[in-house]
Amino acid sequence: MPKNFDGSAQNVCQAGGGIICDHLGNTVAAYTGNLKNHTVTQAKGMALLWGLTFATSIGIKHLEIEGDSQIIMETVSSRSVVGWKVDSILRDSRMLLANLDGFTIRYIFREGNAAADSMAVVGRLQNDLRCWRNPKLLLVTTKVILEIEKTKSNDEPI
Q: Where are the domains of the chain?
A: 2-154
Residues 127 and 10: their CA atoms lie apart, in Å, by: 15
What is the reported pLDDT for 156?
A: 45
- % of the chain exceeding 90 in pLDDT: 13
Residues 157 and 37: their CA atoms lie apart, in Å, by: 26
Contacts of 117 (CB under 8 A, 6+ apart): 6, 8, 68, 110
Q: Which of 31, 4, 3 is nearest to 138 (CA)?
A: 31
19 φ, ψ (degrees, to nearest 5): -130, 140
Mean per-residue pLDDT, 85-110? 89
Query: By the 8 A CB rule, do 114 and 5 touch?
Result: no
What is the reported pLDDT for 128?
A: 82
Predicted TM-score (pTM) of this structure: 0.81
Q: Which of 84, 142, 120 is nearest to 10 (CA)?
A: 120
What interhelical angle do 114-123 and 135-154 show, nearest 10? 70
- Binned at pLDDT 50, 70 and 90, residue 140 comes out as low
Mean per-residue pLDDT, 125-135? 79
Q: State yes or no: pLDDT of 157 exceeds 50.
A: no
Q: 3-state class of 1 per DSSP?
A: coil
Instruction: Let me know how long the chain is.
Output: 158
Residues 39 and 152: their CA atoms lie apart, in Å, by: 24
Task: For the chain, state the CA radius of gyration.
Answer: 15
2-154 topology per CATH: Nucleotidyltransferase; domain 5 (3.30.420)
